[in-house]
């Protein structure tokens, strides 16, 4: 008898529980990981049989314990790296039916075979189960795919004994999410360093993925001013690349307590505590919501960003080109006071979008040239907000930017119009930067010249402010201004390639697209599209997916995922 049910496969009363496995001895995710943690002796037996070649598609692996546990390992994959195959499910169900017919009336808990990490369609698999097990004497409880996903998440959330010991050896403790409610973490956390900083509000720092020297110099000046302010503040950032460790060290050297949120398992980068943990007099706290051996994923990166935002009293944006701040992304920060480093190359529409959420550029103090971080500090002190409001009312036209130029301060907009303002600003960026009808050139060769790199300069005295308050000499010439002055000097091939990337970004925003569809929708020759796709995948701006081959513009998260994949 078949019964399709919901719930936990381990909580339901059953004589036999079916586990989905591969044939190479790995149980690293999903329901298989949950079985491995609950039945470690079963896993050892299964692993030995895989090494001996006895675990094969279409053949059940049976394990019983002296205590009465009864497990059937059902091979749904040949290798854990490969997707499941319907033919293996079919032959496996035949073998399972044969086994159950020989043991009489038992209750069996059966998961959704191959429909989790295996990628099979549940409607099709459920029909196969009905067809193959119809009339079986056993009472088979068939669980939907959600049950396997839930079991996998639960297993991944709780470290094994070996993982716990490994993390403790390098200085981490395991903290239950309920003990740090401000972070809104969905799972236990691995924490190294001071636990006190987790109870304090942060300055959420959003640097660029690969900060240049000017951005780093700007951060050094801000860190120095934070330390000089005498206010005990915590700066927090998400680990994006190895440069994030250098950024954290900038604040630690100035005595500023720093939190580094890790979107990967602590056992995959054991050296981080030793590499930056002894920098300066500030305390370093490392926090990871990932499984101890978990690799970087977009989901984990998004989770750590949510944690950063949840405990942020203010946000500091130093990224010169925050193209990842889409309309939706910026709206998430709309209720957080934002201070940003203003660069010459920042588009006016971006400044308008930031102004729409009340963001303020960090200016230079007229008296000594140091960064004016009052707006950043105001977020932590209500009395300071009142004092600054009074001061602003008296000096609305006297605010001095770090560039040394007088500007009219940004006006705070009605909070009810924030979302609409942000959407309009970003719509303006799209309309102005990406023509609806792109006139691409005739077919080019695959040798397309790369666009000339432009130097990012900041309006902090046309360069970054030194730590002593003086300004570095401005760079000679501005390549962007030169390009604007002489359009004829630009390379048409490079311009069309850049336009292609912009259109591809729009086209693949929701999902990857095949090369034929890209060519058809952009009305381009397929050979030209292939040339540009090849170039984009080489320089990391385009992500290629296989089986079937599709392409997608590489977002910031995807570029970081590629980075970690290459590094590890």
- What secondary structure, in 3-state letters, does 452-511 show? CCCCCCECCCCCCECCCCCECCCCCCCHHHHHHHCHHHCCHHHHHHHHHHHHHHHHCCCC
Name which of 447, 564, 438 is nearest 503 in CA terms.
438
Cα–Cα distance, 289 to 307 (Å, whole number): 9
How much is the pLDDT for 241?
87
Cα–Cα distance, 325 to 340 (Å, whole number): 13
Give 501's contacts (C-beta < 8 A, 6+ positions apart).
532, 536, 541, 542, 553
Name which of 276, 301, 299, 292 is nearest 189 in CA terms.
292
How much is the pLDDT for 434?
37
How much is the pLDDT for 399?
40
Average pLDDT of the chain, as a whole number: 77
Name which of 6, 1, 12, 7 is nearest 109 in CA terms.
12
Expressed in percent and rounded to 5, the helix, strand and coil fractions of the chain are 40, 15, 45
Confidence band for 354, pLDDT divided at 50, 70 and 90: confident
More confident site: 452 or 137? 137
Mean per-residue pLDDT, 244-251: 94
Region label for 37, one of left (φ > 0), alpha (ψ between -120 and 50) or beta (otherwise): alpha
Q: Which ranges constitute the DSSP H helices of 182-230? A: 213-228
Which residue carries 């995807």 as its tokens? 558
Q: Which of 145-149, 386-390, 475-479 has the highest mean pLDDT?
A: 145-149
Confidence band for 194, pLDDT divided at 50, 70 and 90: confident
pLDDT digits (tens, 9 = 90+) for 85-115: 999 999 999 999 999 999 989 999 999 999 9
Task: Spell out the domains of the chain, with CATH numbers in brackets.
Answer: 2-157 (3.40.220.10), 159-319 (3.40.50.450), 436-456+491-567 (1.10.10.10)
pLDDT digits (tens, 9 = 90+) for 526-550: 888 888 898 888 888 898 888 788 8
Mean per-residue pLDDT, 300-326: 87
Cα–Cα distance, 460 to 218 (Å, whole number): 8
How much is the pLDDT for 45?
95
Mean per-residue pLDDT, 8-20: 90
**How buried is 105 (Cβ within 10 angstroms: 0-12 exposed, 13-18 middle, 19+ buried)?**
exposed
Confidence band for 50, pLDDT divided at 50, 70 and 90: very high
Cα–Cα distance, 138 to 18 (Å, whole number): 13
Confidence band for 427, pLDDT divided at 50, 70 and 90: very low
Beta bridge partners of 235: 203, 258
As a whole number of angstroms, the longest Cα–Cα distance in the chain is: 90
Cα–Cα distance, 373 to 393 (Å, whole number): 18
* 234 pLDDT above the threshold of 60: yes
Cα–Cα distance, 115 to 129 (Å, whole number): 13
- DSSP assignment of 280-331: SSS-EEEEE-S-TTPPP-HHHHHHHHHHHHHTEEEEEE--S--TT--HHHHH
pLDDT digits (tens, 9 = 90+) for 437-488: 333 333 333 333 333 433 333 334 333 333 333 333 333 333 322 333 333 3
Mean per-residue pLDDT, 290-296: 84
- Which of 99-103, 315-319, 564-568 is the least confident region? 564-568
* 220 pLDDT above the threshold of 80: yes
Percent of the chain, pLDDT > 70? 73
More confident site: 189 or 399? 189
DSSP for residue 385: H
How much is the pLDDT for 327?
57
Percent of the chain, pLDDT > 90? 33
Cβ-defined contacts of 74-78 (< 8 Å, 24+):
74/18, 74/19, 74/20, 74/21, 74/113, 75/21, 75/22, 75/23, 76/20, 76/21, 76/22, 76/113, 76/114, 76/118, 77/20, 77/21, 77/22, 77/23, 77/114, 77/118, 78/22, 78/23, 78/24
- Which of 23-37, 124-138, 315-329, 368-382 is the least confident region? 315-329
Sign of CA dihedral 539, 544, 550, 555: negative
Beta bridge partners of 3: 141
Cα–Cα distance, 452 to 110 (Å, whole number): 59
Cα–Cα distance, 475 to 455 (Å, whole number): 9
* 8 Å CB contact between 343 and 456: yes
């Amino acid at each position: 008898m078949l019964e399709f049910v919901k719930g936990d496969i381990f909580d339901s009363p059953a004589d036999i529980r079916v586990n989905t496995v591969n044939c190479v001895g790995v149980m690293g995710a999903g329901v298989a990981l949950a079985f491995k943690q609950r039945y470690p002796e079963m896993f050892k037996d299964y692993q030995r049989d895989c090494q001996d070649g006895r675990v094969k598609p279409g053949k059940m692996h049976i394990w019983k314990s002296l205590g009465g546990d009864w497990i059937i390992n059902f091979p749904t994959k040949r290798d854990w790296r490969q997707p499941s195959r319907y033919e293996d499910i079919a032959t496996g169900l035949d073998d399972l039916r044969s086994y159950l017919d020989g043991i009489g009336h038992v209750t069996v808990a059966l998961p959704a075979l191959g429909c989790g990490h295996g990628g099979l369609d549940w409607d099709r698999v459920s029909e196969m189960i009905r067809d193959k097990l119809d009339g079986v004497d056993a009472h088979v409880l068939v669980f939907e795919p959600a049950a396997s996903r839930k079991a996998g998440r639960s297993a991944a959330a709780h470290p094994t004994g070996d993982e716990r010991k490994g993390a403790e050896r390098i200085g981490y403790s395991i903290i239950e999410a309920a003990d740090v409610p401000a972070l809104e973490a969905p799972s236990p956390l691995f924490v190294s360093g001071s636990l006190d900083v987790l109870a304090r509000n942060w300055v959420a720092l959003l640097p660029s993925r690969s900060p240049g020297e000017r951005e780093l110099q700007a951060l050094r000046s801000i860190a120095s001013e934070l330390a000089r302010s005498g206010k005990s503040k915590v700066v927090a950032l998400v680990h994006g690349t190895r440069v994030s460790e250098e950024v954290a060290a900038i604040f630690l050297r100035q005595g500023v307590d720093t939190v580094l949120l890790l979107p990967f398992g602590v056992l995959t980068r054991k050296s981080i505590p030793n590499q930056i943990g002894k920098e300066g007099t500030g305390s370093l706290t490392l926090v990871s919501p990932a499984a101890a051996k978990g690799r970087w994923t977009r989901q984990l990166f998004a989770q750590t960003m949510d944690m950063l935002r949840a405990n942020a009293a203010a946000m500091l944006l130093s990224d010169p080109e925050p193209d990842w701040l889409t309309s939706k992304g910026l709206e998430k920060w709309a209720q957080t006071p934002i201070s940003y480093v203003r660069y010459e190359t920042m588009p006016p529409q971006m400044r308008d979008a930031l102004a729409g959420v009340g963001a303020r550029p960090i200016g230079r103090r007229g008296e000594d040239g140091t960064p004016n971080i009052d707006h950043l500090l105001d977020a932590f002190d209500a009395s300071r907000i009142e004092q600054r409001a009074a001061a602003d009312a008296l000096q609305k036209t006297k605010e001095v930017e770090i560039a040394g130029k007088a500007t009219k301060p940004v006006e705070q907009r009605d909070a009810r119009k924030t979302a609409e303002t942000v959407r309009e600003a970003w719509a303006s960026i799209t309309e102005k930067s990406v023509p609806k009808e792109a006139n691409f050139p005739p077919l080019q060769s695959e040798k397309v010249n790369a666009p000339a790199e432009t130097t990012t300069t900041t309006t902090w005295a046309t360069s970054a402010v030194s730590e002593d308050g003086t300004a570095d000499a401005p760079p000679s010439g501005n390549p962007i201004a030169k390009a604007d002055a002489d359009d004829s000097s630009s390379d048409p091939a490079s311009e069309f390639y850049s336009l292609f990337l912009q259109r591809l970004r729009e086209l693949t925003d929701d999902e990857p697209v095949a090369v034929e569809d890209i060519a058809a929708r952009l009305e381009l020759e397929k050979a030209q599209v292939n040339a540009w796709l090849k170039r984009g995948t080489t320089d990391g701006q385009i992500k290629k997916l296989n089986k079937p081959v599709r392409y997608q513009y590489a977002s910031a998260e995807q570029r970081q995922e590629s980075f970690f994949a290459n590094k590890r």
